Amino acid sequence: MMLILLVLGAFIDQVSMMLIALPFFMPLVELYGFDPVWFGVLFLICMQLGLLTPPFGMLLFTMKSVAPRAITMAQVYGAVTPYVVFGLLMLAVVMLWPPVATWLPAVLFGK
């Protein structure tokens, strides 16, 4: 599911991604007994990565628009690479250790 979200995030905006993916994914999340909070955090991480990944990452165009004219789009792509790598690492950490995403709601709401 996360791979599909990462691919979708590279080509469409986040609201469209939610409207396309959630009706299919949420029944699967419930069917297989995954924690919806954990899945929601994973979904949000994928949406954030979609804003940063080429070719249509909206934040890339925002960064280019505020950068000096001498900065090329290729330089913007290169500058965002560490953030994409750390975002993927964060996705892996939350995927492998769900309590990273669910401990605070459990403490606050006693779940």
Q: Residue 111 — very low, low, confident or very high, per pLDDT cuts 50/70/90?
A: low
Domain boundaries, the chain: 2-109
Is the confidence at residue 97, as pLDDT, over 80?
A: yes
Q: Is the peptide bond before 55 cis (omega within 30 degrees of 0)?
A: yes
What is the mean pLDDT of the segment spanning 5-31?
92
Cβ contact 23:16 at 8 Å: no
For the chain, the average pLDDT equals 91
Q: Residue 46 — very low, low, confident or very high, per pLDDT cuts 50/70/90?
A: very high
Q: What is the pLDDT of residue 54?
A: 83
Q: Express as a percent the part of the chain with pLDDT over 70.
A: 99
Nearest to 101 by CA among 34, 51, 47, 50: 34
Number of Cβ within a 10 Å radius of residue 60: 19
